[in-house]
Structure 1
Amino acid sequence: MSDAASSKTAYRTEIDGLRAIAVVPVILFHAGVPWVSGGYVGVDVFFVISGYLITRILLDAHQHGTYSIVDFYRRRCVRILPALTVVTIASFAAAWLWMPPQDFRKFANSIVAVATFSSNFLFWQESGYFDVQAELKPLLHTWSLAVEEQYYILFPIILGLIWKLAPRLVLPCLIVMAVAGLYLSGKMVRHYPEAAYFLLPSRAFEILAGSIVAALPGHGISARLDAIGNRVAELLSAVGLGAIAVSVFLFTSTTRFPGYNALVPVLGTVLVLLFVRRGSLGYRFLACRPLQLIGLASYSIYLWHQPVLAFARLRSLHALSLADELGLAAISVALGVLTWKFIEIPAKRLHRLDAGRVLSLAVARLILVAALGFAAVRTGGFPGRFPAEVVALLDTPELQDGAACTYFTINGSSVPPGCAFGDPEGRKTIALYGDSHADALRGTLDQEFKRLNIRGLRVNITQCEPIPYITVEGLPDDRFATCLRAFGETLDFLKREADGIIVAIRWNYRLYPVPGKIDRLTFDNGEGGVELDKERIYEARDESGEPSILAPAKERAVKRMFEKLEATGLPLSIVHPIPETGIDIKRYNFLRYLEDGRLPQEVTTSYERYRSRNAFSGAVLDGITGPAVAHVHPDRALCDTFVKDRCVVQFGGKRYYSDDDHLSNDGASLIAADILHPFLRDF
């Protein structure tokens, strides 16, 4: 008899090895190992394993008449909370030492989310330009725990109802739910990719796949599985391991995921669960001692790896080397093994307590963790930890942290809302169009517009790229068409409402890649400052929608956008690339303060690096000419001015950036006059 068809309560040693196969790629992926570009699929392997084991326990309890929802949650609390509480409190302590107030406050939100098993919602909502980068979020990985716990709030109840009505319908119902979940995941990943990654509806089919495997023995399928010969079973289990390996090594951060692509690791895990038999080569591999140890401690290892990596990055002035990251991964494994041995194993003694006491302890733990988070949020990140002058420089409010803005809709059309700023009764109306680099100008423009009696309108197109003919790789044709239509409606609105348009976009980022011209999405200043971000590919679309990453196609796409903007007949002010720095200046200031108790007076980067990085995009923009077109060159204000051959980031106690590429209000004020010049000629 195959292991999958054996007693539901039998311990399966090889599953511990499969857990190791799941956790190691996740750690290596988060450590930035380039050849493990799809290591994130380890989470999907975990989901399948979890669905299998939990459903097996639930079905066994139903069959023996011992099912109790209270006992089920008691077991979950004993399994999940002790190690999670330790890691969360340790992360809080590290954040107290190594995070400035504003970042600590944001981190505290994730503490509260952990305590309420809602991290996936928090990190989904935070997936924007102005939040701390994913690599620097110590509790980012808890989104998967939230997904599981949300699933296990609903699943035992649904399974219990099905069992009560008709036990023979358990398997068919699970299959129907899994197929429906897969279809929903495929839809969500096309139209709402961030939500698809973090939320339960698009992940449920993965856990259900494991549930289906657990339900097979009770529906007469065991005999068919038993009839499969050992050689065929070994081949199928090898195919399963191969499918997991393919997804680990060939998927990338640009792979559309989860959706149908998630079937590769999910079905691979299913094959392993079904066909790895005791004594086979696959079993001997998964049951080897090193994999067993990592697998047994995999939960604690998973909990530790992201905080260890994130806090090390937060504490370092420069980008960590691959050797550094691998060393930190090893530390995560060691901490995980220790936590398993001294926290997880002793916590099993709690099974001796009655359910009421266990659940009371669980609630007390969660309240403690939530209270820590609430306290940090309410105090603004405990700013009293540092001198007032340090807090003032670190946490100066910037536009992107939430400036006043009056939102509006455009005559009820499908164009997404924009916002009004400046003088609402202004003699002129100037529109601000672009991406987050446009938003970074808005605080300064708001003050200038009020002074000059100008009404400002910030206009963008939600979930669409600011250059409408350049899209994220793989964007569905229908979504591309929708975005083009929204751009057309925006142009019609601008013709009616505006007297001029400011265009500010992070050009290199949106044009990446251009082979031989723009070969990095993010900026490396060549002096240890390397920007962190999720890799993505942008494609130019021609009239037929055919995608291309080549330079001529990207140039045509930019020119097409400006042809449409010029056709409005409105004067244009084009803001050329803002010098990127590779230095998150707030974090840099904080780390320098932790080092020697002082804040740096001068922080600069190479001007030559800017010129090299922006040669292509600058040339493309210089080609946009016309009687009503003005060009603004931010480098002329920021570079080779304060310091020869250098671009200034901070000087004389003033921060000219809010992070590593967005101007602060002080930085924006250096170019405000040039931006507004073409609109003031007849004032």
Structure 2
Amino acid sequence: MPFNANINALRALAVMAVVLFHFNPALFHGGFIGVDVFFVISGYLMTGIVFSGLENRSFSLLRFYMARARRIIPALMGLCIALMVLGFLYLPIDDYRAILRAIKSSLLFTSNFELAKSGGYFDAPPQENWLLHTWSLSVEWQFYLLYPIAMMAGARWLGLRKLKMAVVALTVASLLASIAMTQWRETLAFYMLPSRAWELLMGGMAFLFPLRRTHAAHRLLVPVGLVGIVGSALLLSSEAPWPGYLALLPVLSTLIVVYGDRDSLLGKLGILQWAGRISYSVYLWHWPLVVVLYLLGLLNSWQYMLGGIALSFALGHVSWRYIERHEKPAGSPRKTLGVFAGATVAVVVLASVTASLLKDHPGARFFYTEPVAPLEASERYPQTCTKQPFDSEECTLGKGAPTVILMGDSHAHATASAVQRVNPGSTLLWWHGGCPLLLDFDMHNKTQASTCRDFNRDKLERLKQSYPGLPLVLFSRASLYADTVKPSKYTVSFEPGKKTSPALFAKRYIDEYTNTVCALASNRPVYLVRPIPEMPFNVYKGLNLRAQFASQVSDVYTPQRQYAKRNEVANQAIDQAVARCGAKAIDPTAYLCQNGKCMGSLGGVALYHDDNHLVDAGDEQLKDLFVPVFKNQSN
């Protein structure tokens, strides 16, 4: 197809949106729509190539596959080889083997299937998957494999005119499937080709059905489309169900630009043309840089963020200049495809063999001292756990009769040893990961919400009938559930499907938490533990990576003012419950924070297993936090 400067500029805008979103989601919280723009562009170009070839009776399936392989595989393979070397030199064995698994799925273009099994794209923290962004390449490659075959079959059996209408029907079917799947299984809708195909096919329809337009309307289309794209990037957020019908805004806006004047100013800006040419390589390289900055705890620094963005474009330019533009294997399509397939298989086999070798012989990296990861489960006290209904656990720490009940989510489980440290008897722990201490609520993850409601109600009924007067300690990662700035599948809601203002959400959350605490406090003293500070990245992994690049490793911390801001709603809920329910508040920040800093490590020793769960070293810092529970009990 002839070069279209507008489309090249769209590539630039798309990659800029994605890069800004990944480096600073709060700044450009809808930048993920850049991928949708890429999909439309790809659909337009691929349809043009395939349909024009079918129309001229000159289309070659092998030649089409060869061109796609030349475009995608070399730069992707270059990135994968670089990550193999980086991981071999600097990463712990488990993290390195995870990279090798991701390399295999990326080069085999199945990473979208693997990621769909592990959780949603917007779940936090995604920055520990070095090749998370390759899901979109997998979707596109799967489209490239199937689409020309379907077009060839349609041209043969339907004819070109009816084939156009078949593309329209397929587009509508995929869009409807996307809308339905987004409501039913959003993770699958996000990653799978059937619910994404309509975006590529919409681009195809721009080629199949060119618009007849006046000159004035022609010139107006580009600015109108650009407003839609920029508006999508600024107004949409990861909180919205995606893709679904909302993806129509960036998709249709991109179509409008494609239909617009090819001689517009958009196509004449040199900086956009340069960024468009290198956009694929920039997309490949930017995400590993995000991961590095995240693990080093530097992603929130403006200086490092801007440096990371600049380095993304610099590495993208180098990759474009020396890999994408480099002379590719010559010869027949069959021979060229064989070369690419052989190279891909070689790297995949190398990754597999390396992963197996290091699993059986971790000392093979004789130059690397494997760091010892802190244990997630406490070893300080004997602990007996049994599975309970609703996928929960009931554990007993220590010996003797229970003298306290600890109830909550994984934070309660992670900090149980701090309770037992000052407990003269045993601690009864009721916990369910990812469950807020609320009775009446909903979540983006409907299954999780239902399970959590059942778990909480079951424990409420049990407390009404058992252990009268025994103190109850409530402990959860409330900031995760009340987070409307960076929502996840665990963010709670009270009116599903309705947009709620932050102020109204806060009021609903505070009132529901208070109602729950009052119900639980009807026949016993209740203690409410304020949230544990969260770190900006995985503490153990960050300390290890810092140790590879610095002679002196500084401790990890998060500013206490950030903790206060993030937990504002959670702490207000605790304050109201204390006032209305007669509960008592316990504040761990008096032990974990000092001089305005909440510590994630001390003297290079990690206090956290990841970025939010304390380990024994962290529990040790809590010292006498829970003494009031047992002091009041003995009195």
TM-score by length of 1: 0.76
Distance in structure 1 (CA, Å) of the matches to 2:148 and 2:406: 52
Q: Pick the aligned partner of 1:183 from 155, 168, 176.
A: 176
In the alignment, which residue of structure 2 is the partner of 1:141? 133
In the alignment, which residue of structure 2 is the partner of 1:438? 412
In the alignment, which residue of structure 2 is the partner of 1:285? 266
CA deviations over 1:189-244 (Å, ceiling 9, x no partner): 3444444333333322111211222333xxxxx5xx34x22222222343223222
Q: Pick the aligned partner of 2:232 from 244, 247, 250.
A: 247
Distance in structure 2 (CA, Å) of the matches to 1:543 and 1:358: 50
In the alignment, which residue of structure 2 is the partner of 1:364? 343
In the alignment, which residue of structure 2 is the partner of 1:295? 276
AA matched with 1:185: S
In the alignment, which residue of structure 2 is the partner of 1:562? 517
AA matched with 2:101: N
Aligned pair 1:268/2:246, yes or no?
no
TM-score by length of 2: 0.81
Distance in structure 2 (CA, Å) of the matches to 1:375 and 1:214: 46
State the SS of the aligned residue for 2:309.
helix
- Structure 1 residue 145: Cα displacement: 0.5
Distance in structure 1 (CA, Å) of the matches to 2:27 and 2:591: 41
State the SS of the aligned residue for 2:32.
helix
- Structure 1 residue 89: Cα displacement: 1.3
State the SS of the aligned residue for 2:287.
helix
Shift in CA distance, 591/345, structure 1 to aligned 2, threshold 3 Å: closer
State the SS of the aligned residue for 1:660.
coil
State the SS of the aligned residue for 2:291.
helix
Aligned pair 1:492/2:458, yes or no?
yes
AA matched with 2:136: S
**Of 188-197 and 171-180, the range deviating more from structure 2:** 188-197
AA matched with 1:345: R
- Structure 1 residue 62: Cα displacement: 3.1
- Structure 1 residue 142: Cα displacement: 1.2
Pairing of 1:486-635 with structure 2 (within 5 A): 487-488=453-454, 490-492=456-458, 495-496=461-462, 502-512=473-483, 541=494, 547-550=500-503, 552-566=507-521, 572-582=526-536, 584-597=538-551, 617-618=570-571, 620-624=573-577, 631-635=585-589
Shift in CA distance, 495/679, structure 1 to aligned 2, threshold 3 Å: farther
Distance in structure 1 (CA, Å) of the matches to 2:10 and 2:499: 42
CA deviations over 1:20-46 (Å, ceiling 9, x no partner): 232222223333286543222111111
Aligned pair 1:40/2:40, yes or no?
no
Shift in CA distance, 661/35, structure 1 to aligned 2, threshold 3 Å: closer
Q: Pick the aligned partner of 1:650 from 576, 597, 601.
A: 601
Q: Structure 2: which 5+ residue stretches go unaligned? A: none
In the alignment, which residue of structure 2 is the partner of 1:50? 42
State whether residues 371 and 544 of structure 2, in contact with CA within 8 Å, keep that contact through their aligned partners in structure 1: no
State the SS of the aligned residue for 1:350.
coil
In the alignment, which residue of structure 2 is the partner of 1:517? none
AA matched with 2:610: D
State whether residues 69 and 156 of structure 1, in contact with CA within 8 Å, keep that contact through their aligned partners in structure 2: yes
AA matched with 2:10: L
Shift in CA distance, 67/373, structure 1 to aligned 2, threshold 3 Å: same
Distance in structure 2 (CA, Å) of the matches to 1:14 and 1:560: 57
AA matched with 1:49: I
In the alignment, which residue of structure 1 is the partner of 2:375? 397
Distance in structure 2 (CA, Å) of the matches to 1:20 and 1:129: 23
Distance in structure 1 (CA, Å) of the matches to 2:560 and 2:18: 38
State the SS of the aligned residue for 1:391.
coil
- Structure 1 residue 360: Cα displacement: 4.2
Shift in CA distance, 598/373, structure 1 to aligned 2, threshold 3 Å: farther
Distance in structure 2 (CA, Å) of the matches to 1:541 and 1:98: 45
State the SS of the aligned residue for 2:326.
helix
AA matched with 1:300: S
Shift in CA distance, 535/543, structure 1 to aligned 2, threshold 3 Å: closer
- Structure 1 residue 630: Cα displacement: 6.2
Pairing of 1:17-416 with structure 2 (within 5 A): 17-32=9-24, 36-127=28-119, 133-135=125-127, 137-167=129-159, 168-216=161-209, 225-226=211-212, 228-273=213-258, 275-278=259-262, 280=263, 282=264, 284-314=265-295, 316=296, 318-319=298-299, 321-347=301-327, 349-369=328-348, 371-372=350-351, 375-376=354-355, 379=358, 385=365, 391-392=371-372, 395-399=373-377, 410=389, 416=390
Distance in structure 2 (CA, Å) of the matches to 1:241 and 1:543: 32
State the SS of the aligned residue for 2:611.
coil
In the alignment, which residue of structure 2 is the partner of 1:662? 613
Distance in structure 1 (CA, Å) of the matches to 2:428 and 2:508: 36
Shift in CA distance, 612/203, structure 1 to aligned 2, threshold 3 Å: closer
Shift in CA distance, 321/596, structure 1 to aligned 2, threshold 3 Å: closer
CA deviations over 1:556-589 (Å, ceiling 9, x no partner): 121022234446x577553322134446432442
Shift in CA distance, 433/114, structure 1 to aligned 2, threshold 3 Å: farther
In the alignment, which residue of structure 2 is the partner of 1:459? 432
AA matched with 2:35: V
Q: Structure 1: which 5+ residue stretches go unaligned? A: 1-8, 217-221, 411-415, 514-520, 522-532
- Structure 1 residue 143: Cα displacement: 1.5
State whether residues 571 and 679 of structure 1, in contact with CA within 8 Å, keep that contact through their aligned partners in structure 2: no
Shift in CA distance, 141/580, structure 1 to aligned 2, threshold 3 Å: closer
State whether residues 73 and 340 of structure 2, in contact with CA within 8 Å, keep that contact through their aligned partners in structure 1: no
**Of 122-131 and 139-148, the range deviating more from structure 2:** 122-131
State the SS of the aligned residue for 2:431.
strand
State whether residues 83 and 99 of structure 2, in contact with CA within 8 Å, keep that contact through their aligned partners in structure 1: no
